Structure 1
Amino acid sequence: MAIFELEPMKHHVLICNGGTCMRHEGEEVTQAIRDEIRKQNAEAYIHTTRTRCNGRCHDAAVVIVYPQGDWYGQMTPDSGTQLVQKLVTGEKLEPHLFHECTGQSSSE
């Protein structure tokens, strides 16, 4: 298992590899994101993890970015590439963003 330095990491990208997301290009989205991270020379500060189902199958393929807590849906390989480009410039991929964690419950 690779060991990487946590200090420079700015983004942890969780890529759903559950069954429905995999049927909606989840593997291709995973590879596109990882390829663009390498292309942008961003391996030190953007880390990816494949996850099991995140329970948002109707939004497949799903990608979650922390520490922002941004949930992206209907991701494709092209939008995966765009997401990395946006992370590098400090922006969000608005067309695919369907939830932002604010740290407050909906009852507050």
Structure 2
Amino acid sequence: MQRRIFVCTNQKSGVGEDVAKALKKELKNQGVKSLLVDGEKVHTRVQTCNCLDLCKHCKKGPGAALIVYPEGEVYGKMTPKDVAGLVQYLAGNTKQPSQFLDNES
């Protein structure tokens, strides 16, 4: 299975790029770029994109928006400092980060 993390780079200059770089580094550092989940190999890729249409979640305050697929989980105001918690969550080691936005947002 392929997991993709799409990071918005449109809203604030450099923020999305910094979050994407931090995610790539943290996935490698924590050894979870590829892992087994319920017996299935999951490979995670980080990709930047121009717009996720989630500006309302990032206009005020620091951070970028991102979406994790195939889970469909949306996060707002994610900063490079926050990515370690997200990676730990994706590896099944911690609770969901506070930047999670429910589907009603």
TM-score, normalised by the number of residues in structure 1:
0.72
Q: Is the 8 A contact 2:52 2:66 kept in 1?
A: no
Unaligned 5+ runs, structure 2: 35-42, 59-63
Q: Cα RMSD between the aligned structures?
A: 2.1
Do the aligned partners of 1:15 and 1:48 also contact (CA within 8 Å) in 2? yes
Distance across 1 between alignment mates of 2:95 and 2:103: 10
Aligned to 2:47: 49
Partner of residue 77 from structure 1, selected from 74, 80, 90: 80
Give the number of the structure whose residues are more often strand, by fraction: 2
Determine if the alignment matches structure 1 residue 59 to structure 2 residue 62.
no
- Following the alignment from structure 2 to structure 1, what is the Cα–Cα distance between the partners of residues 53 and 98? 20
Report which of the two has the higher share of helix.
Answer: 1
Amino acid at match of 2:22: A
For these two proteins, the number of residue pairs brought into alignment is 91
Bigger Rg, structure 1 or 2: 1
SS in 1 for 2:77: coil
| Runs of 4 or more consecutive aligned structure 1 residues displaced over 3 Å after TM superposition | none
Q: Which runs of 5+ in 1 are unaligned?
A: 1-6, 102-108
The CA distance in 2 between the partners of 1:46 and 1:40, in whole Å, is 12
Contact 2:16-2:48 within 8 A present in 1 as well: no
